[in-house]
Amino acid sequence: MSVAVMRIYALG
């Protein structure tokens, strides 16, 4: 069961 969501961002 998941408790959170992680997102990876990049720009450039």
HSE, CB side, 13 Å, CA atoms: give it for residue 3.
0
Nearest distance from C-beta of residue 1 to another protein, angstroms: 6
Burial 1-12 (b: 16+ CB within 10 A, else e): eeeeeeeeeeee
Tell me which residues in 1-12 interact with another protein (CB under 8 A). 1-12
Nearest distance from C-beta of residue 7 to another protein, angstroms: 4
Give, as one character, the DSSP assignment of residue 12: -
Nearest distance from C-beta of residue 12 to another protein, angstroms: 1
Residue ranges in contact with another protein by CB under 8 A: 1-12
